[in-house]
């Protein structure tokens, strides 16, 4: 089955700096890669996703990149703000699969 690894486990940046979180996956059949943001006491919130037929996707300050050959995908947050502080999870699955596999999470802290 799919195995997703996520790095780093913690990340601290200064407000205004960029943050990058990286994930690798093992199953070449995976074709959907969402990113979730989880704030304290809340459920994961879908913030952006990318499909295997696309190499990059951007939504305002957030971008995701996918390297299918290397089985890597990354989340990039630019101009970070204190409200970006949360735990971020990457995940991988196949459109026809029910089992979405999550990484272990990255705790991002943005210092004002």
Partner 1 sequence: ETGVTQSPTHLIKTRGQQVTLRCSSQSGHNTVSWYQQALGQGPQFIFQYYREEENGRGNFPPRFSGLQFPNYSSELNVNALELDDSALYLCASSLPGRRYEQYFGPGTRLTVT
Site for partner 1 in 18-77 (CB under 8 A): 32, 34, 36, 41-46, 49
Nearer to partner 1, 41 or 112 (CB): 41
CA dist., res. 63 & res. 50, Å (int) = 10
Binding footprint of partner 1, residue count (CB under 8 A):
26
- The b-or-e profile of 8-29 (16+ CB within 10 A means b, else e) is eeebebeeeeebbbbbbbebee
Give the residue carrying structure tokens 């952006």: 48
Nearer to partner 1, 42 or 70 (CB): 42
CB of 79 to partner 1, least distance (A): 26
Nearest to 86 by CA among 19, 17, 5, 16: 19
List of residues contacting partner 1 (CB under 8 A)? 4, 6, 32, 34, 36, 41-46, 49, 89, 91, 93-95, 97-105
């Amino acid at each position: 089955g799919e195995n997703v690894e996520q790095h780093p486990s913690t990340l601290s940046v200064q407000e205004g700096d960029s943050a990058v979180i990286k994930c690798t996956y093992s199953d070449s059949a995976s074709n959907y890669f969402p990113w979730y943001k989880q704030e304290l006491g809340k459920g994961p919130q879908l913030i952006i996703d990318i499909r295997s037929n696309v190499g990059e996707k951007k939504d305002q300050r957030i971008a995701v990149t996918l390297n299918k050959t290397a089985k890597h995908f990354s989340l990039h947050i630019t101009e970070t703000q204190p409200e970006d502080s949360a735990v971020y999870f990457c995940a991988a699955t196949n459109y026809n699969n029910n089992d979405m596999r999550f990484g272990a999470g990255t705790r991002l802290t943005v210092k004002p």
